[in-house]
């Protein structure tokens, strides 16, 4: 039996789920197919920061990235209030504002950056008397700034989307066999189910490369940018902050979350994660310890437990393997491929997809999506809940 949908989406990370929600709301008959777990690979492992572009403006001027992403926090905040394009009221906000801290030595060399008009609209200097832990220590000599960028718990985000749109999500265990027909695609899933779709959305992160082959598409090319993230667990204050380094990338980005046992997990990214890709887990742990000892020397972290995580960012290929400035949505033969580049860009991906569908003259049928004879994907777990052995 063949099941008809308007749009078949592959991949249940943030790009697939946000697009599923928006396309369903627009009246498209949509089904999403996920290979492993809802929440994806990158999305569940992300630091949950809804960037407004400040970290891309660390050179003092607004780059392409900073401009494209500037409107994202507003869209997300409206959704978090229940007044936006998606209802995200159930999502756990870990921090209303991300912080930016400069070490004492850097504060003067970055004076131009802090004085810039653009930056002043995006960040607010905090008075020393109002510094939260761990910056309320006399040992801290740098500056502290508040950014208009909330930090979300990625699992509760995925849970909120699953609760509302999970009945349109199905599990499939291998890449499909796809055949083009006049006005769309016939897709045979390994589970013996055949789908007819007017268009296909590939939102499978690094899985897009194999899916593109399955749909006979030689392009677009994908790039992977690996990270070697660090986690530490202990009696720690909540912390959501970028530490400014000498380059346009934050030297360290810390986000935190309560662990199941009441302790706090710090999740460390930024330069230390980018530079750590060649290091063994042991060497990366040493690098992480050294970095925190250098940046927060007054803190005692001896009792903390550590772990590392390797994860790749999957993106549209860019010259020199650089980070793309914007979300990517491309189309060929009714296969729409997307890589959001950032979690924060999910609403933009969905908007670009909708525009492409209109341009292709693929209209919503407003028909009911019947239940497909496939199982449901589970919800992905946070990286620190997956750690088997802490060091």
Q: Which residues of the shown chain bind ligand FAD in the complex (CB under 6 A)?
A: 10-16, 33-36, 40-43, 45-49, 51, 172, 175, 203-205, 207, 211, 227, 229, 269, 311, 313, 339-344
Q: How far is the CB of 181 from ligand FAD (least distance, A)?
A: 21
CB of 112 to ligand FAD, least distance (A): 26
CB 86 within 8 A of CB 22: yes
Q: Which is nearer to ligand FAD, 33 or 140 (CB)?
A: 33
Three-state secondary structure along 327-362? CEEEEECCEEEEECCCHHHHHHHHHHHHHHHHHCCC
* Structural tokens at position 290: 């050294």
Instruction: Give the largest CA-CA distance in the chain.
Output: 70
- When the beta carbons of 178 and 292 are compared against ligand FAD, the nearer one is 178
**CA angle 248–252–254, rounded 5-degree value:** 130
Cβ proximity to ligand FAD: between 3 and 35 the closer is 35
Closer CB to ligand FAD, 140 or 205, in the complex: 205
**Three-class DSSP category at 184:** strand
Nearer to ligand FAD, 13 or 70 (CB): 13
- Residue found by looking up tokens 């209030």 in the block: 81
- Nearest CB to ligand FAD, comparing residues 133 and 378: 378
Q: How far is the CB of 366 from ligand FAD (least distance, A)?
A: 26
For the CB of residue 341, give the shortest distance to ligand FAD in the complex, in Å: 5
* Contact by Cβ (8 Å): 231, 268: yes
CB of 50 to ligand FAD, least distance (A): 7
Taking each helix axis as running N to C, give the angle between helix 72-80 and helix 346-359, from 0 to 180 degrees, rounded to the nearest 10. 100
Q: Kindly state the smallest distance separating residue 262's Cβ from ligand FAD, in Å.
A: 24
Secondary structure of residue 234 in the 3-state scheme: strand
Shortest Cβ distance from residue 153 to ligand FAD (Å)? Answer: 12
Bond prior to 134 in cis (omega within 30° of 0): yes
Which of residues 143 and 383 has its CB atom nearest to ligand FAD in the complex?
A: 383
| C-alpha–C-alpha distance, residues 59 and 200, integer Å | 39
């Amino acid at each position: 039996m063949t099941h008809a949908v308007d749009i078949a989406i592959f991949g249940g990370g943030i790009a697939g789920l946000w697009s599923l929600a928006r396309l369903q709301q627009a009246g498209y008959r949509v089904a999403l197919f996920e290979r492993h777990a809802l929440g994806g690979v990158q999305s569940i492992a992300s630091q949950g920061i809804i960037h407004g572009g400040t970290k891309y403006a660390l050179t003092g001027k607004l780059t392409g990235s900073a401009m494209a992403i500037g409107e994202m926090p507003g869209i997300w905040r409206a959704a978090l209030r229940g007044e936006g394009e998606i209802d995200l009221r159930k999502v756990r906000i870990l921090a209303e504002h991300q912080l930016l801290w400069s070490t004492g030595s850097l504060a003067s060399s970055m004076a131009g950056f802090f004085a810039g008009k653009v930056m002043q609209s995006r960040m607010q200097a905090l008075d020393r008397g109002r510094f939260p832990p761990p910056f309320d220590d006399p040992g801290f000599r740098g500056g502290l700034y508040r950014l208009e960028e909330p930090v979300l718990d990625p699992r509760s985000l995925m849970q909120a989307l699953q609760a509302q749109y999970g009945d349109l999500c199905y599990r499939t265990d291998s890449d499909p066999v796809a055949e083009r027909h006049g006005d769309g695609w016939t897709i045979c899933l390994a589970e013996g189910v055949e789908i007819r779709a007017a268009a296909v959305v590939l939102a499978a992160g690094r899985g897009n490369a194999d899916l593109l082959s399955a749909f006979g598409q030689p392009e677009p090319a994908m790039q992977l940018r690996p990270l070697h993230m660090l986690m530490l667990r202990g009696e720690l204050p909540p912390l959501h902050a970028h530490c400014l380094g000498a380059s346009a990338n934050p030297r360290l980005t810390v986000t935190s979350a309560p662990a199941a046992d009441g302790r706090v997990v710090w999740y460390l990214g930024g330069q230390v994660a980018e530079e750590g890709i060649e290091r063994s887990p042991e060497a990366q742990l040493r690098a992480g310890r050294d970095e925190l000892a250098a940046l927060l020397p007054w803190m005692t972290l001896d009792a903390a437990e550590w772990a590392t995580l390797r994860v790749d960012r999957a993106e549209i290929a860019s010259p020199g393997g650089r980070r793309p400035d914007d979300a990517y949505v491309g189309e060929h033969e009714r296969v729409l491929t997307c890589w959001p580049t950032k979690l924060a860009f999910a609403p933009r991906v969905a908007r670009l997809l909708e525009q492409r569908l209109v341009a292709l003259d693929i209209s919503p049928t407003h028909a009911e999506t019947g239940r497909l004879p496939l199982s449901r994907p589970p919800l992905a777990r946070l990286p620190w809940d997956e750690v088997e052995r802490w060091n």
